[in-house]
């Protein structure tokens, strides 16, 4: 009888242990989806060149989307390492104004409305702290990410005024450029006087850098199998390709996300 009691006690302990592992497994897989908003951080003195008289840039958030899979590996009680793969479709509206002189001493005054549309794959590597092992609890995390841009386009619409000692020329500019492909880029314009559209081709390097690396932070709340959180990514690398601008132009990516998640196991 004593042996039977010990055996039943062992089975009960084993069942409790297995149940605990089912509730909080060491490796948890979850799907994520949500909305994002992208912007650029540009220092006021980003262009350091004597030919540039003035430059300004204003950004406006446009809604994009994020989706993917994340894996949480339990390091110890309440502490998890998270990684995964996330796809992100991002949009950004930008208004630029610049005045500069070219090598022929012609002064340019340019104003443009730009719409960036980009597609990214991101791999996060973050440490998350869970306030409790219960089904409902708060979550906070911080760490690093690597972002690779797969494709992107810039749609622009603006105007340009060229001034020299003899005359003033006013052009209307519009078109669409590939951001990450080096090679021929066509810029469309028309002179305001005759309203005749023309185009000229530039052979340039890619406009933006494909690779970004930075830090991420997140706050969220776990509700049983479901999750809701807010996330921010700050890029540490210059996203502008210096070979394209030929100036000391610096801009860094800042991305905000509202994410929903669901634990698969």
Task: Tell me the percentage of the chain whose pLDDT exceeds 70.
Answer: 78
Residue 215 in any domain: the answer is yes
Beta carbons of 158 and 170 less than 8 angstroms apart: no
Kindly state whether residue 183 falls inside one of the protein's structural domains. yes
Q: Do the domain assignments include residue 12?
A: no
Q: What angle do CA 81, 71, 86 make, to 5 degrees?
A: 110
Using only C-alpha atoms, the chain has a radius of gyration, in whole angstroms, of 26
The span from the CA of 245 to the CA of 236, in Å, is 19
CA distance linking residue 53 with residue 40, whole number of Å: 22
Q: What is the mean pLDDT of residues 104-125?
A: 90
- The C-alpha atoms of residue 130 and residue 138 are separated, in whole angstroms, by 6
Q: Is 19 inside a domain boundary?
A: no
Tell me if 4 is assigned to some domain: no
CA distance 25 to 40: 39
Q: Model confidence over 74-100: pLDDT tens digits?
A: 999 899 999 999 999 999 999 988 887
pLDDT given at position 131 = 94
Give a yes or no: residue 1 inside a domain.
no
193 with 205: CB under 8 angstroms?
no
Assign 170 a pLDDT band (cuts: 50, 70, 90): confident
- Domain range enclosing 118: 26-263
Q: What CA–CA distance (Å, rounded) separates 38 from 120? A: 12
Does 49 score more than 90 pLDDT? Answer: no
Can you say whether the dihedral through the CA atoms of 133, 138, 141, 147 is positive or negative? positive
- Do strands 183-191 and 211-223 pair parallel, antiparallel, or not at all (unpaired)? unpaired
48/247 Cα distance (integer angstroms): 7
What one-character DSSP code corresponds to residue 236?
-
Q: Is residue 6 part of a domain?
A: no
Q: What is the pLDDT of residues 119-152, one digit of tens each?
A: 999 999 999 999 998 899 999 999 999 999 999 9
DSSP bridge partners of 155: 115, 176
3-state secondary structure at position 205: coil
- What is the number of structural domains in the chain? 1
Q: What is the pTM of this model?
A: 0.80
The pLDDT confidence band at residue 199, using thresholds 50, 70 and 90, is low
CB count within 10 Å of CB 42 equals 20
Does a structural domain hold residue 21?
no
Summarised one tens digit per residue, pLDDT across range 200-259 is 666 567 889 999 999 999 999 999 999 999 999 999 999 988 877 767 778 899 999 999
Over 90: is that where the pLDDT of 105 sits?
Answer: no
């Amino acid at each position: 009888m004593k042996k039977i009691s010990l055996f039943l006690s062992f089975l009960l302990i084993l069942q409790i242990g297995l149940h605990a592992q089912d509730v909080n497994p060491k490796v948890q897989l979850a799907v994520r989806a949500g909305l994002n908003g992208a912007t650029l951080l540009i220092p006021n003195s980003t262009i350091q060149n004597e030919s540039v008289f003035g430059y300004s840039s204003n950004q406006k958030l446009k809604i994009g989307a994020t989706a993917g899979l994340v894996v949480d590996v339990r390091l110890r009680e309440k502490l998890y390492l998270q990684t995964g793969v996330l796809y992100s479709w991002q949009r950004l509206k930008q208004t630029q104004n610049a005045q500069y002189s070219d090598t022929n001493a012609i002064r340019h005054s340019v104003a443009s409305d730009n719409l960036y549309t980009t597609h990214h794959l991101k791999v996060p590597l973050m440490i998350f702290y869970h306030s409790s092992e219960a089904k409902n609890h708060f979550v906070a995390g911080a760490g690093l990410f690597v972002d690779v841009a797969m494709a992107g386009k810039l749609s622009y619409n603006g105007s340009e005024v060229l001034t020299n000692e003899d005359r003033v020329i006013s052009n209307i500019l519009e078109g669409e450029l590939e951001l990450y492909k080096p090679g021929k880029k066509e810029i469309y314009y028309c002179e305001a006087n005759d309203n005749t559209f023309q185009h000229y081709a530039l052979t340039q390097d890619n406009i933006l850098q494909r690779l970004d690396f930075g830090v991420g932070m997140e706050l969220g709340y776990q509700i049983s199998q479901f999750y809701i959180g807010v996330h921010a990514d700050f890029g540490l690398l210059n996203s502008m390709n210096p070979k394209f601008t030929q100036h000391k132009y610096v801009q860094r990516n800042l991305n905000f996300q509202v994410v929903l998640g669901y634990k698969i196991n």
